[in-house]
A and B are shown apart, each in its own frame.
Chain A
């Protein structure tokens, strides 16, 4: 059992310090801005438009008119969005240009989606219904009126999962309308086949040749075709879907899998929704007048639609999370037969290794580098350094300078599996004895005086609050900080004055001369000092004390 000596806040604070310093190239910023400006003449060219205020005024006035119009005429149609995209999926707004679609692409009435070649897409309508496209298919959201939804199957296979509600839901194939009387059906529109296959409940077929009173009803497990080149005798007739053919249809079985997951969650969700609605309605009836009851029921209906929409997102997220948890909880199998270790590779003081076979995957797995000044280092007797995907590691002078025996093993939880050959590596320099690695010279140098801890040449440290920004401190050191491992600067902060190493959080800082103050003791005023750290739990020179006020995030 490991000694987890860090608190969560300390770990988060330390990770915050790990953020690499990334500087953006200002020329790059300008280049992208210019690219965007070529897409629209008005963008970013404010400086050049200063003489054309009239043009700007017209644009602004038009924008105001559009915004006001949008406010006064609230949208009466529902929306939709793509929640699954596989392959080459495109969309277009109204009758516009086709563009690449992605998950979360929002769609409105009149928009179209198509798949080129192999692929699939799922459009989730705001009422909770789903429209799913197969390879080489295209559909248009002709109408998203809450009272009457219409989808046009322009081409291919379009599967529709319709949420039960008091409104009409149609899918049109050329001049024929397939009206949902229930839930799940697929329309087909190809040169060889045009019609509908019903997988749940029923669909009414409305053509220009029949009236609604004479409409043909296609029940569950049946099909109806207007065109069927391979089986012309079935045209115009309600025929039974062959179970074998349904099972063999990959797109149909994929849709049925999707529907099964939705149903399993809805079974849990719907009773609770109905319970929630009934409870709210009962409360309203007791306390409100008849007009207020109608208004509240409309609001609840909208909330239910929103909940149903979110259900689909929950299912997708749960699937993914379950997959990840299972991968994490189920360690993989190792097929490692050999590990070959090389000393001083890729550079002196390192080792690198090559693995024959595949490492077991999963949490608490990987490769451990075992090194010690005594031969045959093992997990128990020496320091195990967990390594992830890297195939090399630096050998740190844990026991001081000198020669280390090094092995690598595949880590299988509490034990090692396959071990590598053993090599020796000479490590130069040791922080434990007061040496530091001079990067420019490329070697370890000593900074220790003859007796006791390293001598400091820092005469003062000047600390400034809220610098470079709020809730930070920055400092200037007069003198040279003692270099080496377990050295540097410590930022001491506490809600009580004169914070010291022992009584407050010491945050080791490397090369930076500023630090963020974390709300270890909650929001409020913190007293902050900085000191040069000399190792052995000892501070050298302290800075002046400042106060920093931490507020709750807005």
Chain B
């Protein structure tokens, strides 16, 4: 998949901009999903996802693969866009995605099932730092390698592995106590 991405990017940079459509089709859903989980709102997720792809298209001329690959580059843009959105929205408080927002400001999901899913997830996410949340989501839900995640977050691979391990240990406590509740 990574080699395909690089070939497509090279073609776009060479002038065949129609190939960006292939990249768009490939990544619109996973990027939207990533942004939605971080914002909890359909309208906000749609607005930011649209911005992300417009920005990616504008900047693709200056894209250089290096060690990270197109997917990590794109997720990096997505992550920065969400952080930027919340920083402008709440300039006096350190909020970088919706999981940082106290419950009274929480958003309402569209269906009861979705609300229950997010409520369950809140119990995990509330105890994790923003980096730990992103690393878990990207590793477990998006199947990214530690190396790619390091490129997305702008960190060393070793630091990502350490944070992932720490996040898993935190989840153990949460799941253990949840199982106690359900006994």
Contact = CB atoms under 8 A, between A and B. Distances in A.
Given A12-B140, A36-B54, A66-B14, A321 B36 contact: no
Interface stretch (A18-26, A270-278, A538-546): A18-26
B70 interface: no
Interface string B98-137: 0111111000000011100110111111110101000010
Nearest to B106: A390
Given A24-B28, A35-B50, A391-B103, A104 B21 contact: no
B182 A314 contact: no
A269 interface: no
The 4 closest A-B pairs by CB, nearest first: A388-B126, A106-B62, A390-B103, A20-B117
B114 A20 contact: yes
Q: How large is the interface on A (under 10, 10 to 19, 20 to 34, 35 or more residues)?
A: 35 or more
Interface string B1-36: 000000000110011111011001000110011001
Nearest to B61: A93
B18 A22 contact: no
A389 interface: yes
Interface stretch (A57-65, A144-152, A171-179, A453-461): A57-65
Contacts of A105: 59, 62
Contacts of B63: 106
B50 A31 contact: yes
A317 B156 contact: yes
A383 interface: yes
Contact of A32 (B11, B42, B49, B143): B49
Interface of A: 2-6, 8, 11-12, 14-16, 18-22, 24-25, 28-29, 31-33, 35-36, 39-40, 42-46, 59-60, 62-63, 66-67, 70, 79, 81, 93, 99, 102-108, 313-314, 316-318, 320-321, 324, 328, 363, 366, 383-392, 396, 398, 431-432, 439, 485-486, 511, 553
Given A36-B24, A36-B57, A43-B18, A22 B33 contact: yes
Contacts of A99: 58-59
B65 to A, nearest CB: 10
A415 B46 CA distance: 44
Nearest to A44: B21
29 contacts: A5-B179, A8-B172, A11-B171, A11-B172, A12-B140, A20-B118, A22-B32, A31-B50, A32-B49, A33-B21, A36-B54, A44-B18, A46-B18, A67-B10, A81-B64, A93-B61, A93-B62, A104-B73, A104-B76, A106-B62, A317-B156, A321-B159, A366-B127, A390-B102, A392-B103, A396-B182, A431-B182, A432-B183, A486-B182
A466 to B, nearest CB: 17
A404 to B, nearest CB: 13
A104 B102 CA distance: 31
B14 A32 contact: no
Contacts of A328: 129
Contacts of A431: 182
B181 A396 contact: yes
Contact of B159 (A5, A40, A108, A317): A317
Dominant SS among interface residues on chain B: helix
A44 B118 CA distance: 35
Nearest to B165: A8
A398 B53 contact: no
A396 B123 CA distance: 14
A217 B89 CA distance: 50
Contact of B103 (A59, A63, A317, A389): A389
Q: How large is the interface on B (under 10, 10 to 19, 20 to 34, 35 or more residues)?
A: 35 or more
A33 B18 CA distance: 11
A79 to B, nearest CB: 7
B177 A42 contact: no
Given A12-B140, A24-B29, A36-B53, A317 B155 contact: yes
Contacts of B131: 324
A51 to B, nearest CB: 16
Contacts of A20: 37, 114, 117-118, 121
Interface of B: 10-11, 14-18, 20-21, 24, 28-29, 32-33, 36-37, 42, 46, 49-50, 53-54, 57-59, 61-64, 73, 76-77, 80, 99-104, 112-114, 117-118, 120-127, 129, 131, 136, 140-141, 143, 145, 154-156, 159, 168, 170-177, 179-183
Nearest to A46: B18
B155 A321 contact: yes
A42 B32 contact: no
Given A11-B171, A392-B103, A398 B181 contact: yes
Given A42-B18, A44-B24, 12 more contacts: A12-B168, A14-B171, A18-B117, A20-B114, A20-B117, A31-B50, A36-B57, A39-B58, A63-B16, A106-B62, A321-B159, A386-B177
A93 B58 CA distance: 11
A32 B25 CA distance: 11
A5 B176 contact: yes
Given A36-B57, A103-B80, A396-B182, A389 B156 contact: no
A21 B46 contact: no
A396 B63 CA distance: 52
Contacts of B145: 553
A43 B112 CA distance: 39
Contact of A486 (B64, B103, B183): B183
A22 B37 contact: yes
B16 A60 contact: yes
Given A6-B176, A39-B54, A439-B112, A16 B141 contact: yes
Given A317-B159, A398-B183, A486-B182, A4 B103 contact: no
Contacts of B73: 104
A312 to B, nearest CB: 12
